[in-house]
Structure 1
């Protein structure tokens, strides 16, 4: 695959010294355990690039992607809004200077007391996808503005987000009626195309599904005025993706072609922070199960339970950089250090790594700024969660 060196999002380095500040910091320092090095300036660059493509849409950063307070503070300074999934995330954003009108409580599964807390501090925008959730919102935030999350099918994302969240399209009219009867302001719809949707063109079939639900609601007189298009904005993991401004602009063209001049919320998480950080790890062991084994097993000091949970089902395929890149290489099964047989990162599709790789070698895992620190467990097998260095 040929990459343009002028496009940092499509640059694949062949040495551990990558063309960014986080990599330069890694090259100059030693680390005693797995560490995420995150470049705060790069987060700002990604925000600006996405905002340029999204235009008038409000950017609601998905706090769950990386809730480091320094990221939140930097995005507050940029004017970002925030998608919060819990009371602690709401409190975090407020503590870093976010205004209440910049916050949405976007989790469709909320504790009643947390809804009441959000309302008490002035949050008015809530998500729902079930009758009981509407009842909880009405009881604890009677002046709430509510958008309904719709299940979408045929997602072409690397990590589809179907089934757990959202209501079936045919159930939305009943939820709108119920919400109105409860006195709630039913303001719009939301959906999620799926995490790591690598091409903007993949949004088209999903938008076609949502606009049918939207048009039905409008014909019924609900006057919806808010469309939450969720996340899905991709990061670079080795397969080419469009530059963020181009990608976001393409999505918005598709939205406006179907919905007209509607108010839009977007919730980038991965696309905002993934490329801002790399993890420094170490090889603990290289072994074969028998002399006839086709693949080596390479065990790292980080695994599924200490930050790399997104390797589950091999959905997210990270890039691995070593000092021995360029030497003869071959496929290997990559695994973590814990005493759990599930702690295997890549086996169905082995990873190509240098044959000379051995215990003690440093490995850099690229573009790990999203969903690593928040997925890291506390002390499983005694392995600590990721260290984090923000530069």
Structure 2
């Protein structure tokens, strides 16, 4: 059936009104404590449904194209597929995953800025024509391997924030767009639109104003060359906050109405990735080892965690069963956007100690949290990380025989009703669900499957 993988090996727990995700986490920890203490995720697929409703309420008619690299687990892709979301793919593997959902090629864009020739040929064979381009070398490569390609010129944005340089890693300048159009005309390649991307860390929403103005200039330039432009991609950078979404919409809506009005026939799309999935997944990890370290070796910078700290207080280093070669891979390139929460109950007046968290590889790069304040933990205790759905659940390393965490998919009855009201629920979909009463212990072996 369109929208669902025939061989997907997973199931979705349907929570009754008395059950919560916190209950699910408690139950899973109870089971794992007795069966092996593996790290695991709990994914609230209903969050995807709610985020999609929010998107439609705030950003319509801008169509979302979900970047598969953010989270490529089957539960996420299938739910988004049934919601009518398009997909932005960066590789052959991602294109194949989306194709298995029965998604039309018109709803897939190939966005990798540095494409392999073999993967361009794969896109051509699959009928995936829309792709991005920001330089003449890439343009020539596309012309040789995909004669029916329809290109979005990726333009750079002047995204300047504190401590960051201009966002020029990918994307071309307005001046170079004319050169690319001349090349495309000579090569017989179609240019059908423009793409830009504003980072989610950008605090200056004026960046959108400059980007939209530049995009309009490129559209005007294209008319001179006889290109029929019909698509504008405003990229990603949506954090998942309703406030941020409304702020962005407040800035871009008037300009879209002026520069790209509805009657122009230009389709405006976006690539919200972490917007959909970041807050939908929670990761539970187990403490596998513990050390007491000297305070002056705890912080390389020599800074202090707490001004009132006594020199004789212990400082703890904890090792957990997941790390940067697994679920925390994004930590290698960016700051961790979540703080650990201790699962076990402890008293409000219980002392907190300077602590650091490390992954299981014993590698010097495998540091997850440099310093934080935690009650004293024991080997076997659990830590919970929220907002772990983005950039953590794609292809992962096999470093030190790393094992992927189990994934427990959940959805509430109210979110299931929302899907039914939208007309996308079916008997086939229902086979992926099972009922979760509010007061039973859940067995991973019997009631859940992994997404691996």
Scaled by the length of structure 2, what TM-score is found?
A: 0.72
Residue 197 of structure 1 aligns with which residue? Answer: 201
State the alpha-carbon separation in 2 of the partners of residues 375 and 329 from structure 1.
36
Say whether residues 1:345 and 2:349 are aligned partners.
Answer: no
Residues 147-181 of structure 1: CA deviation (Å, up to 9, x unaligned): 01122233449999944422234322211221222
State the alpha-carbon separation in 1 of the partners of residues 206 and 232 from structure 2.
15
Greater RCO, 1 or 2 (C-alpha within 8 Å, sep 6+): 2
Say whether residues 1:26 and 2:25 are aligned partners.
Answer: yes
How much has 1:105 moved relative to structure 2?
0.8
User: Aligned pair in 2 of structure 1 residues 135, 23: CA closer, same or farther (>3 Å)?
Assistant: farther
How much has 1:60 moved relative to structure 2?
0.3
How much has 1:312 moved relative to structure 2?
2.7
Residues 168-213 of structure 1: CA deviation (Å, up to 9, x unaligned): 343222112212221122112112212x3376xx332244145235
State the alpha-carbon separation in 2 of the partners of residues 231 and 158 from structure 1.
21
How much has 1:259 moved relative to structure 2?
2.8
State the alpha-carbon separation in 2 of the partners of residues 60 and 281 from structure 1.
31
Of 368, 382, 386, 1:366 maps to 386
State the alpha-carbon separation in 1 of the partners of residues 337 and 156 from structure 2.
26
Of 176, 185, 200, 2:190 maps to 185
| Residue correspondence of structure 1 range 264-343 to structure 2 within 5 A | 264-290=268-294, 295-312=315-332, 314-322=334-342, 323-324=344-345, 326=348, 327-343=350-366
**What is the total number of aligned residue pairs between the two structures?**
361
State the alpha-carbon separation in 1 of the partners of residues 116 and 148 from structure 2.
17
More displaced 10-residue stretch of structure 1: 304-313 or 79-88: 304-313
Residue 388 of structure 1 aligns with which residue? Answer: 407
Q: In structure 1, the residue corresponding to 2:147 is in which secondary structure?
A: coil
Of 27, 37, 41, 1:36 maps to 41
State the alpha-carbon separation in 2 of the partners of residues 225 and 361 from structure 1.
55
User: Aligned pair in 2 of structure 1 residues 211, 74: CA closer, same or farther (>3 Å)?
Assistant: same
Aligned Cα root-mean-square deviation (Å):
2.8
Q: In structure 1, the residue corresponding to 2:159 is in which secondary structure?
A: coil
State the alpha-carbon separation in 1 of the partners of residues 122 and 147 from structure 2.
13
Residues 115-170 of structure 1: CA deviation (Å, up to 9, x unaligned): 22212222221111121211122122212210011222334499999444222343
User: Aligned pair in 2 of structure 1 residues 128, 38: CA closer, same or farther (>3 Å)?
Assistant: same
More displaced 10-residue stretch of structure 1: 46-55 or 306-315: 306-315
More displaced 10-residue stretch of structure 1: 283-292 or 269-278: 283-292
Say whether residues 1:98 and 2:103 are aligned partners.
Answer: yes
How much has 1:79 moved relative to structure 2?
0.9
User: Aligned pair in 2 of structure 1 residues 375, 28: CA closer, same or farther (>3 Å)?
Assistant: same
State the alpha-carbon separation in 2 of the partners of residues 49 and 160 from structure 1.
32
| Residue correspondence of structure 1 range 69-88 to structure 2 within 5 A | 69-88=74-93
Residue 256 of structure 2 aligns with which residue? Answer: 256
User: Aligned pair in 2 of structure 1 residues 160, 149: CA closer, same or farther (>3 Å)?
Assistant: farther
State the alpha-carbon separation in 1 of the partners of residues 175 and 379 from structure 2.
56
| Residue correspondence of structure 1 range 201-220 to structure 2 within 5 A | 202-212=204-214, 214-219=216-221
How much has 1:42 moved relative to structure 2?
1.5
**Uncovered stretches (5+) of structure 2, i.e. residues with no partner:** 1-17, 299-303, 305-314, 411-452
Do the aligned partners of 2:65 and 2:271 also contact (CA within 8 Å) in 1?
yes
User: Aligned pair in 2 of structure 1 residues 288, 142: CA closer, same or farther (>3 Å)?
Assistant: same
